[in-house]
Amino acid sequence: MRGATNAILRLSPAARVGGVVTMSAGNAAQAIAYAGRANGVKVTVVMPETAPKTKIAATRGYGAEIRFAAAMTDLLPMVQELQAQGLHFLHPFDDDDVIAGHASLGLEILEDVPDVDLVVVPVGGGGLISGVALAIKAKRPSARVIGVEPEGAQAVRLALDAGHVVRLERLSTIADGLAAPFAGERTLEIIRRDVDDVVLIDDETILEGLRFLVTRVRVVAEPAGAAAVAALLSGAVTARPGERVVAIVSGGNVDADRLAGYLA
């Protein structure tokens, strides 16, 4: 909710009155819907038809109107249609105020672990890791920040390799919370400068991280939330001897039936 709340609070008077539209597979949808309701701003969310029922129900529960698109890659065109009708487009990750709100997480990490050496962050469109990296590198430049992306939704990794934003034609990952069809222009710029690396892991590795969190740590996470822990467990991200490590678990919105299947 950090980025969403900051962005809603900083809307122009006209945008507050007219309402906002955003796009999301579910996590940003809930956050922006919640922040909108708390601050009297009408929110419309474009979501894929494949979004988890838990995320759809929660987004509606926070008062947002939902429009459905056939797939993640179809969200932006529908958003642009609603934007043309007068709604303010609040980007779920490529927005300065969203990124600044997420930076508060980096500051909180430094309050709790001031000598942190390595921060591992799940990556979708790059909003969360951009904010965290901004704060960490400003206050503790020696610390490493490493992102983790699913192999089937590597929008940021491909953009870094290409040197520009790459729009994915197909997304295939169990971690729907990280299935962004493209990286942001702002987020890509920050990641290039302040993130040490972005690594890729497959879905089975993500599920191993999820099972570890649920059965050993007693933390219920969705696949997207387990990605950073999974990368550490698998060795995709390696801590150096003696390093203080923080793995961000962001996303616990998982349907009960899906979770049972993942654990089995």
Task: Summarize pLDDT for 176-234 with one digit per residue, the tens.
Answer: 999 999 999 999 999 999 999 999 999 999 999 999 999 999 999 999 999 999 999 99
Q: What is the pLDDT of residue 71?
A: 83
Q: How many of the other CB atoms lie within 10 Å of CB of 18? A: 16
Q: What is the pLDDT of residue 185?
A: 95
Q: What is the pLDDT of residue 3?
A: 96
Averaged pLDDT for residues 10-26: 93
Question: Which residue matches tokens 């710029």?
Answer: 189
Are 90 and 96 within 8 A, CB to CB? Answer: no
Burial of 95 (0-12, 13-18, 19+ CB in 10 A): buried
Question: Which residue matches tokens 């299935």?
Answer: 179
Class of domain 96-263 (CATH, top level): alpha beta
pTM of the model: 0.93
Domain spans of the chain?
2-89, 96-263
CA 91 remoteness from chain centre? 12
Task: Summarize pLDDT for 97-137 with one digit per residue, the tens.
Answer: 999 999 999 999 999 999 999 999 999 999 999 999 999 99
Q: How many of the other CB atoms lie within 10 Å of CB of 165? A: 16
Please determine, for residue 53, whether its predicted confidence score (pLDDT) is greater than 90.
no
Q: What is the pLDDT of residue 253?
A: 87
- Report DSSP letters for 189-230, one per residue: HHHHHH--EEEEE-HHHHHHHHHHIIIII-----HHHHHHHH
Burial of 66 (0-12, 13-18, 19+ CB in 10 A): middle
Q: What is the pLDDT of residue 107?
A: 98
CATH number, span 2-89: 3.40.50.1100
Q: Is 96-263 in the same CATH topology as 2-89? A: yes
Alpha helices, DSSP H, located in the chain:
2-9, 13-18, 27-38, 53-61, 75-84, 96-112, 127-139, 155-162, 185-194, 203-212, 223-234, 256-263
Please determine, for residue 67, whether its predicted confidence score (pLDDT) is greater than 90.
yes
d(CA 249, CA 230): 10
Burial of 67 (0-12, 13-18, 19+ CB in 10 A): middle
Please determine, for residue 74, whether its predicted confidence score (pLDDT) is greater than 90.
no
Q: What is the pLDDT of residue 26?
A: 83
Structure tokens at 223: 């696949």
Are 97 and 10 within 8 A, CB to CB? Answer: yes
The bridge status of strand 65-69 relative to strand 43-48 is parallel
d(CA 109, CA 113): 6
